[in-house]
Amino acid sequence: MAHGGAGAGPERLANVERAVAIAAGILDSGGSAIEAAVEACVVLEDDPVFNAGTGSVFRTDGSVHLDASIQTSEGKMGFVIGMQDTPNPIRVAADLLDEEINGLSGDGARLWADSKGFERSNVQGRPPFEGATDTVGVVARDKSGLIVCATSTGGTSNRPPGRVGDVPLPGCGFWVQDGVGVGATGIGEAITRGMISLRVADRILDGNGLEESMMWALDECLEEDAEVGIIALGTEGTGHGVSNSTNMPWASWIARK
């Protein structure tokens, strides 16, 4: 399943559905949840209507800094923080899944990407726009039962270049372990203070339903007026998404057996 950000608006549902269709095709053909999550996330990064990858917003100094993360239910993780000149930071994050290190930031992340042959090109950026706090995210489960969450963002408008939101922080913008995958979107500081993704995952693993667990987090783990959306996927069935606004586009699928 995938989302397009807590404030992106329902008119962007078709854009999210295109990413879901890419992932569904990969899963239906026997591909892995890692491949499906990454490629769906790339579709969203390449879509200029979202604040991720090519559609990312300017920081206060006019720069564009990108974050991305990926985690698997096997216990692997990769994340990048504050990258520049990287249209698809999720690909760099995924390259860390089999490395001894989990995360890279800033110039070091870009140098790593150069050494691995990942595209370096200027991300033009754009002025602040409605919904500019949004991330994009994907949670996928393959036929082996592997669950993967991939997220990506251009950060938040009118924030300094060194600001770090929830997307690359484990337990905040994402959390995956055996049995569940969760991704969050919206006001990054509120998501981080509430450790939203980890708390939702724990509640699901305690035997509560996906929707109930996410609604609990929105009601109990956030300060008032913080716009946040969550998606979650368990070991079987479809995923689900909720938001405390009406603006989060999300879509889900089940791969055919």
Q: Cβ contacts of residue 218 below 8 Å, gap of 6+?
A: 228, 230, 242, 243, 244
Q: Can you read off the two tokens belonging to residue 90?
A: 């999720």
50: tokens are 């979202």
Question: Which residues have CB under 8 Å from 87's CB, separation 6+?
Answer: 45, 46, 53, 54, 119, 121, 123
25: left (phi over 0), alpha (psi -120 to 50) or beta: alpha
Q: Are 120 and 86 in contact (CB under 8 A)?
A: yes
d(CA 171, CA 166): 9
Q: Which residues contact 194 (CB under 8 A, 6 or more apart)?
A: 217, 221, 222
Residues with Cβ within 8 Å of 233's Cβ and at least 6 positions away in sequence, in order, are: 1, 139, 140, 141, 147, 180, 181, 210, 239, 240, 252
Catalytic residue among 54, 86, 133, 135: 135
Catalytic annotation present for 192: no
Distance in angstroms (rounded) separating the CA atoms of residues 73 and 149: 9
Q: Please answer whether residues 40 and 19 qualify as being in contact, where contact means their C-beta atoms are separated by less than 8 angstroms.
A: yes
Residues marked active site are found at 135
